[in-house]
Amino acid sequence: MGHHRLTLISLAAVTVASIGCTPGSGKSSASAEQTAQGAAAGSAPCTPVETRDPNASGQKPAFPGQTRACGVHSNVRFGVTVVARGLEHPWAVEPLPGGDLLITERPGRMRVVTAAGQVGQPIANLPKVDARGQGGLLDVALSPSFDSDRTIYWSYSEPRTGGNATSVARAVLSQDRTRLETVKVILRAMPTYDGTMHFGSRLAFGPDGKLYVTLGERSDKPMRPQAQQLNSHMGKILRINPDGSVPQDNPFVGKANARPEIWTLGHRNVQAAGFDAQGQLWEVEHGTNGGDELNRVQKGKNYGWPLVAFGEEYSGVPIPGAVTDKEGYERSVYYWDPVIAPSGMQFYTGDAFPEWKDNVFIGGLGATSLVRLTLENGRVTGEEHLLKERGQRVRDVRQGHDGALYIVTDQDNGELWRVAPKQGA
């Protein structure tokens, strides 16, 4: 493995106290109006997690609770085990039957890490990736019938003539888990573009058996308009059959100059997606300064980017021509200003943490924390930032078969964590 030396460890659980809503540090405290913003209409004001001034001054939420919901406390006793260290920018963690974990590393490696922390050699026969900038090996997901077919799916920035773009491939994981067999690319997002940003991409199988693929719009201003164009996959969520073919009930099938894989449009860069217990798909996407969004994904809907968005350009100027609310475009369920930089998402359905049932967990890259949201009737009612004291970029979070949460951190020396109930008094 050359210079990339893995440090393998198996540590006892490190006790972590329950973390409440620690006010953010920044320019100033929130105004009374901002502080009360997250409270339900007619209820007493509350203190949100985020108390810094927003990046985009003067923008107002479209409805109460769309941003800065009440800070909440878990009051859950949990411990964190560092299962492995030495992973180079891990991007995804996927629990395997039996308790082991499949890990992707952005430079282009996929490995199995055992429940005990033994890190396997890179799995052979993975196609080349374009690992520049935000590109590389991205998400991995098991086939819904993995127990019988051993099939896995992954997304990656594929090097192509003239540039690159996100592709999805599938293969059979060999019985000894050392190599991929019958590798096949089942989706190539188009058009190809010579860039290094906003590839997406999460993979999520729905209760309908279809594979949902989230994409970015490639970031650069000349590419942005493609998020609104049906002849481009950029800035879309796609829905395909497990073999890569197009479901005939997709919303734009048969429409002239429309790519039939498209499920929704108007997205910026979606690196978090997941289904709740009712089978509803949600996504969290990166905005500009002050524009991260939580969205409920509905067939054929338009989520606005770059025409409807909160936040401002990284330079501090307004997003050209954008408004925060407009008829015909879906409102985000929630937004963050300043941003958390979201990646990875898990609706909790396990028994290990009954208090967290139906909560949603989101990786915070910029927030260097695990973001927990409580929801009621499709609205965010509370927010908490966990594991902040560890100071690492949380890239992905998945629920294991044991009900624990498994997390990978986006660092040169990335880590795999297991968050489980704290044992003992």
3-state secondary structure of 42: coil
| d(C-alpha 250, C-alpha 258), whole Å | 11
Is 3 assigned a catalytic role? no
3-state secondary structure of 376: strand
Phi first, then psi: what are they for 163, rounded to 5°?
150, -130
**DSSP class of 133:** T
**DSSP class of 246:** P
| d(C-alpha 17, C-alpha 256), whole Å | 56
Q: Which candidate in 198, 233, 267, 286 is catalytic?
A: 198
Q: Which helix (H) or strand (E) holds 37?
A: helix 32-37
Give the residue carrying structure tokens 């927990």: 372
Task: Find out whether 91 and 408 touch, Cβ atoms under 8 Å.
Answer: yes
CA atoms lying within 13 Å on the CB side of residue 280? 12
| d(C-alpha 152, C-alpha 160), whole Å | 23
| d(C-alpha 93, C-alpha 402), whole Å | 15
Task: Find out whether 233 and 187 touch, Cβ atoms under 8 Å.
Answer: no
| Positions marked catalytic | 198
